[in-house]
Chain A
Amino acid sequence: MLLWILFAALTAAATLAVIAPLSRRSTEPGSPAAGHDVAVYRDQLAELDRDREQGLIGPAEAEAARTEIARRVLKASAANVTGPQTRSWAKGIALASILFVPIVSLGVYVRLGSPDVPGQPLAPRLAAPADPSDLGDLIGRIEAHLLNNPNDANGWRVIAPTYQRLGRMGDAADAYRRLIELQGPDPQLQEAFGETLVAANQGMVTGEAQTALDAAVAADPDRIKARYYRALGLMQAGRHKEAVTEYDEITKRSAADAPWMATVAENRGKALAAAGLPADTPGPQPREPVGAPVAEGGSPAPGPSSADVAAAAEMSDADRQAMINGMVEQLAARLADAPQDSEGWQRLIRAYAVLDRKDDAKAAYDRARETFKDKPEVLAAIDGVARDVGIAN
């Protein structure tokens, strides 16, 4: 409100600048040009004398110049008539200006300005306590911290999966790259790095991504996700037979009921076709179903990994609390609005369990069961998670 009062005052002042001279009942038509001219010419004559005295102009030339100037003086004097004064225009223009200035300025400002955004000087913002429910604000604080302390691995470890969850894949890839630079190679990080790179490049497995994925698999052959993206990259590179081999590797290392088995089988079929091999080329057998993901990094639905939590443990108290709460509350709020997200529920149950909030986990489990009571296959998955974290049998 204050803002608009100030705008009004400014507009009034500006409009006044236009209408004040218009409304002045001036009898003074302003000094006519000829008067100025004559004065200037007289000054030129005086200067001519000075120049002559200084020897800057010869006597004959000075005389000629004097004649030239005198002629101009006469002409200027003759022209010295004041023109007619018309006043009828003034009123119309004054009126138009009163309307014009506010209308144009408000019209343009409303299109361009953001009157609702308050000013946010940095010092008071930093002094204010962090609002744990505002994820964007938390990310902003961590980003600022990282900008000034780019070698703080903990910060990168927190922010990388957060970016990933928010879909900011390019930022996530940069964060993982930095983290790997700081910490040295680590299969889990390299896998995540490769995955985010692929996502950031619209599914293309770039050379950098391929290198990271290869390193992850070399260090830890059970990295299913890394193998999966590696197989995609092989397909994109036209190395179909190698892709088939990779899919076979995945199958060998997965449980038969692992959620990705269907996709793997389908992709393997495509790879076989592309490689010109018969569709029924025998592959290896998966492992016995165990009802839980094989490896944490292999889970297709990422929850706050233990690495995240470890990172959070090394952060300051407020930051840690803020980060965890922020992520979990955000997820819970989203599920309250849009409950038809079975993976979301599984992640939430896991998160509560990791935070040791068994009651919340149980409540979430119950709500999820209620939501998906008509879908037995989803229920099975949710039950699996619940069993996994120990809130159901």
Chain B
Amino acid sequence: MTAEIGHFALVLALALALVQSVVPIIGARRRDAALMAVAPAAALAQCALIGLSFAALTQAYVVSDFSIVNVVENSHSLKPMLYKVTGVWGNHEGSMLLWVLILAIFGAAVAAFGRNLPASLKANVLAVQGWVTVAFLAFILATSNPFLRLDPAPYEGRDLNPVLQDIGLAIHPPLLYLGYVGFSISFAFAIAALIEGRIDAAWARWVRPWTLAAWCFLTAGIAMGSYWAYYELGWGGWWFWDPVENASFMPWLAGTALLHSAVVMEKRNALKIWTVLLAILTFSLSLLGTFLVRSGVLTSVHAFATDPARGVFILVILCLFIGGGLTLFALRASTLTQGGVFAPISREGALVLNNIILTAACASVLVGTLYPLVLEGLTGEKISVGEPFFNLTFGPLMVPLLMAVPFGPYLAWKRGDLLAATQRLWFAFAAAIVTVAVVAYATSGGPILAILGVGLAAWLIVGAVSELVSRARFREVGFMVGLRRLAGLPRSTYGTTVAHAGLGMTLLGIVAVTSFQSETITVMKPGDTAAIGRYQITFDGTDRSRGPNYDQLVVHMTARQDGVVVAKLDPSKRFYTVRQMPTTEASIVTHGFSQLYLTLGDETGDGGIVVRMWDKPLVTLIWLGALVMMLGGGLSLSDRRLRVGAPKPARASAAPVAAE
């Protein structure tokens, strides 16, 4: 019965979303407060209904109700409880339900916390949210209904795929979706502004925190996905330029650009049109990502069931929203008023440069991702665009941006002084030079690009921190006053510093792993010792045992550094009897920021086994840097400034005080 309640609640949510997508717009045009007030009420009720629906599906997974097709196909009575719950969104239907639930939660958040938004803006924003909700609810009910029933019900489910039973994979999709769907708010704000033909000053105040929140989630989601692929696939790689990865990376790039252009708009009312366009593009790329993953048009390491009906449906949604959004933009953009002027060398100018480069980089990723699809569609020729392409296009585009990053915060608004900024960055520059010299000496003249890359990372990190220090003006006001000044700086300033330093950390990790990792593949037998990077690995022995639902071969190894035991590793090969499926469990040991990574290949028959080993220096910085970036976003988000400004619920009768 719960399943049917969930199903009905979902249908009811669709009906409400239809009302929400029409009535408030009429209200906003007619200036009718009652009609506009329908929007928040419907959004809240809809969130409750979709929540109920999601809870019903979760309950069905928890009690293994095999009268539901979705549960049969994606669950199993022997699954641990945690993976029964995460299995709800570990499949196509459930993950779309999660998508729409997050959309509804964001809509409800606008309804609940949007008290200080102008009523007509709020009504229009929620109506646009309603359109998106209608489209995806219709998609779920028509092609991906998780509540279809099975009678008679089987006694056991089909899925016990061991590869998918992993905490990383359980957390990764919700984080990604929070990011993707969060950008729908920016999109809704942009479309609402175009419908109204004016952008309120409150607009950017609202768009920026939502974008920031979505960006934080997306950053975390991408980092989590990358780490999952790193330790679970056993290939030792952390980024494959796989189309599915690109699908989440493109909105991230566009979202990062949006984040920065929204600052200009919020503070200086400039770049309005561009910001609106970026908001539309960012969400479009999120939709494109959903399409690429969900339609199964891609060849990819991510396996999802493919179904052409679904693909076509999402393609229609995609065209409607992107095409509609861009058409509206083309028609109405000219009505938006111009903002303040600024010199090319200025904070605004730096942020524009950031936007241009990020957009170009995003476009190159887009080309690399879609080109094979287009070519195959047009000529039938199959090509694959992989790492070399992206390294060659994305890399060179990002280098000037990374070099420019430390300058940004040093430049004044409207008109900056590049020379003064350069002078104040001397310390960071010196630090970068010293780093380059030290690394070049330590690696006895290693690859020049890699050494410069490490220097660039140092430049980013030191440059970000030194900006904070120079703000305190220790030299002029003394240490104690400086500290107090430092403490008094707005949190968004800290956010900038932390996020930029995090970017430097990630870059450092990437450069170090790409250029200085060592890798060995060799056949080892008990007693053998092999050298990898700074370590000597001894093969102590093997051991066969039975796990709860698998047989395994565990290999015991000891890692020594100059004769001293530093770690015990035991990579294993498992064979899951139920699924008749072999898996390899890599063994990873973290030392400082570096990792030693061991994984197994086939047995050679004479007692030996193929072992692949990596010594990966500073590899964890890649993900730690991303987390630090996210922390920076969070700091910025907690800035009081983002919450003050818009008035307490203003009454119409209380005429605003005239400006001085």
Contact = CB atoms under 8 A, between A and B. Distances in A.
Whether the complex brings A and B within 8 Å at their CB atoms is answered yes
A98 B511 CA distance: 62
A220 interface: no
Contacts of A90: 32, 34-35
Given A11-B12, A77-B658, A86 B30 contact: yes
A101 to B, nearest CB: 5
Nearest to B647: A39
Nearest to A44: B267
B207 to A, nearest CB: 13
Contacts of B4: 3, 113-115, 117, 119
Contact of B45 (A14, A56, A68): A14
A259 B198 CA distance: 89
A127 interface: no
B591 interface: no
Nearest to B339: A68
B631 interface: no
B66 A17 contact: no
A24 interface: yes
Interface stretch (B223-231, B365-373, B407-415): B407-415
A33 B647 CA distance: 11
Nearest to A23: B34
A82 interface: yes
Contact of B34 (A26, A57, A76): A26
A391 B151 CA distance: 41
Contact of A39 (B7, B14, B16, B650): B650
A109 B120 CA distance: 33
Given A122-B155, A143-B155, A30 B36 contact: yes
Interface stretch (A147-155, A203-211, A265-273, A317-325): A147-155
A33 B49 contact: no
A141 interface: yes
Nearest to A118: B1
B659 interface: yes
A7 B8 contact: yes
Interface in A116-131: 117-123, 125-126
B156 interface: yes
A81 to B, nearest CB: 10
B546 interface: no
B499 interface: no
A112 interface: yes
Contact of B647 (A31, A101, A126): A31
Interface stretch (A58-66, A169-177, A185-193, A223-231): A58-66
The size class of the interface chain B forms with chain A is: 35 or more
Contacts of B19: 18, 97, 100-101
A83 interface: yes
Contacts, number: 285
Contact of A33 (B200, B340, B490, B580): B200
Contacts of A13: 45
A123 B63 contact: yes
B118 interface: yes
Given A47-B267, A100-B18, A112-B141, A36 B8 contact: no
B49 A14 contact: yes
Interface in A130-146: 134, 136-137, 140-141, 143-144
A73 interface: yes
A393 B413 CA distance: 112
A36 B141 contact: no
A93 B23 contact: yes
B151 A114 contact: yes
Interface in B101-125: 116-121
A20 interface: yes
B438 interface: no
Residue from the set B33, B141, B201, B645 with the largest chain A CB neighbour count within 10 Å: B201
A113 B26 CA distance: 33
Interface in A286-324: none
B41 A141 contact: no
Interface in A66-86: 68-70, 72-74, 76-77, 80, 82-86
Given A11-B12, A101-B19, A121-B63, A58 B414 contact: yes
A238 interface: no
B64 interface: yes
Residue from the set A54, A134, A137 with the largest chain B CB neighbour count within 10 Å: A54
B31 A84 contact: yes
Contacts of B18: 100, 104
A58 B36 contact: no
B8 A105 contact: yes
A120 B154 CA distance: 10
Contact of B67 (A80, A93, A105, A117): A117
A143 B652 contact: no
Interface in B144-170: 145, 147-156, 158
Interface residues of A, number: 94
A29 B116 contact: no
B551 to A, nearest CB: 12
Nearest to A17: B45
B578 A148 contact: yes
Nearest to A41: B201
A150 B156 contact: no
B471 A54 contact: yes
A331 interface: no
Interface in B399-418: 412-415
Chain A: interface secondary structure?
Answer: helix
A387 to B, nearest CB: 40
Given A117-B149, A121-B64, A85 B31 contact: yes
B616 to A, nearest CB: 39
B641 interface: yes
A5 to B, nearest CB: 11
Interface in B1-46: 1-5, 7-9, 11-12, 14-16, 18-19, 23, 26, 30-38, 40-42, 44-45
B659 A35 contact: no
Nearest to B119: A30
B156 A144 contact: yes
A104 B15 contact: yes
Contact of A113 (B8, B44, B414): B8
Given A17-B41, A65-B268, A29 B7 contact: no
A74 B3 contact: no
Contacts of A83: 31
Contacts of A61: 412-415
A22 B12 contact: no
Contacts of A264: none
A150 B579 CA distance: 9
Contact of A37 (B26, B153, B202, B652): B202
Nearest to B76: A147
Nearest to A13: B45
A69 B8 CA distance: 52
Contacts of B77: 122, 144
Given A17-B45, A18-B42, A29 B33 contact: yes
B643 to A, nearest CB: 11
A170 to B, nearest CB: 16
Contacts of B155: 122, 125-126, 140-141, 143-144
13 contacts: A7-B5, A22-B38, A23-B34, A26-B34, A32-B650, A54-B471, A83-B31, A84-B31, A113-B11, A114-B148, A119-B2, A119-B65, A119-B67
The 8 closest A-B CB pairs, nearest first, are: A30-B119, A144-B155, A144-B156, A17-B45, A21-B37, A73-B659, A121-B63, A83-B31
Interface of B: 1-5, 7-9, 11-12, 14-16, 18-19, 23, 26, 30-38, 40-42, 44-45, 49, 60, 63-67, 76-78, 116-121, 141, 145, 147-156, 158, 198, 200-202, 205, 267-269, 340, 347, 412-415, 471, 490, 577-578, 580, 641, 644-647, 649-652, 654-659
Given A10-B49, A117-B4, 20 more contacts: A7-B8, A21-B41, A29-B119, A30-B120, A36-B200, A36-B650, A47-B641, A55-B412, A87-B32, A100-B19, A101-B15, A108-B11, A108-B141, A109-B8, A112-B7, A117-B151, A120-B153, A122-B77, A126-B155, A144-B77
